[in-house]
Amino acid sequence: MAIKHLDVLKLLAAAGLVEAIDGDVKRCAHWARLGPGAAAREPAQIGAEVMGNVLLRWNCILQADPAEVAPLYVHKTALALAVCLHRQGFADAELTDAAVAAIAALNAAVALNDTFHRRSADIETLLRSPALMPARRPSQAKAHTAWRAGDVVAMQVGDRHHAFHVLEVSQGAPIVEFYDIVQDTPLAWEHLQGVIARGERLNDGRAYVDRHALYGLQYQPDPAHQFRLLASGIAQGPDNAHLARRSGLYAVTDIFRMARELLP
């Protein structure tokens, strides 16, 4: 009997990791398939967008230093990503190969139960089968977050590291303001002392206060290791006295669109 996607995910015995990956894949697939022009897009175009957004986040695990992330966690992540993406109709040869290698590594380490070992060939067959996009785009879960006002958070995008302060939480999303700092090595709380707020420069040449409702920032600690808590209970965020004010309180975005904006 052919194995199903949900069966594979259950065999990973990593409910929290699977929930996070599945939610991210569904969020990216939902937005990629939304809008009046979405029906005219080729599945390959939609797939490239979804894969790019999902991997920009989860590569923080897949490409992590082995000294920082346990290899078995990396293998489970690769396999869960491949399965969740395939379930929504998306596949990537490199990720599929990594997932198949992960099956072998998990079996060699006897990390999962006998059923996983026995169904390994079926799992590989599933991953290498054509990925078919469901007729309906996936739904999104109600917004929630475990981050709190006063948290100072590091955010990794590729090889660059940013930081922001959570001002408040509204309707399940942290409202954040970025520090005006970016570097190629991980940030620490000490690096942010005296750093002012990052503004947004508009067409009038002035820099304005730039705040965002960051949907999709849910788990703390973050299973993708993209977001790290640097400090908590910090009442005062970065100084923005040098920035002009505008009528809107904040812009609505999510962690994937924000990551794209922060790419160099």
Cβ-contact 167, 177 below 8 angstroms: yes
Which pLDDT score is estimated for 249? 87
> pLDDT, tens digit, for every residue of 183-215?
999 999 999 999 999 999 998 989 999 999 999
Q: In sequence order, which residues have a C-beta less than 8 Å from that of residue 178 and are 6 or more positions away?
A: 162, 163, 164, 197, 198, 210, 238
Which pLDDT score is estimated for 92? 94
Cβ-contact 86, 126 below 8 angstroms: yes
Residue 81, token pair as written in the block: 């990503």
> pLDDT, tens digit, for every residue of 127-178?
999 999 999 999 988 999 999 999 999 999 999 999 999 999 999 999 999 9
* Nearest one of 68, 195, 89, 66 to 138, comparing CA atoms: 89
> pLDDT, tens digit, for every residue of 96-117?
999 999 999 999 999 999 999 9
Q: How confident is the model at residue 64 (pLDDT cuts 50, 70, 90)?
A: very high
Q: What percent of the chain shows pLDDT beyond 70?
A: 100
**3-class DSSP string for 93-145:** HHHHHHHHHHHHHHHHCCCCCHHHHHCHHHHHHHHHCCCCCCCCCCCCCCCCC
- The Cα 131–Cα 47 span in angstroms is 10
Q: Higher pLDDT residue, 173 or 43? A: 173
- The Cα 137–Cα 168 span in angstroms is 31
Q: How confident is the model at residue 18 (pLDDT cuts 50, 70, 90)?
A: very high
pTM, two decimals, is: 0.95
CB atoms within 10 A of CB 246: 12
How far is C-alpha 45 from the geometric centre of its chain's CA atoms?
20
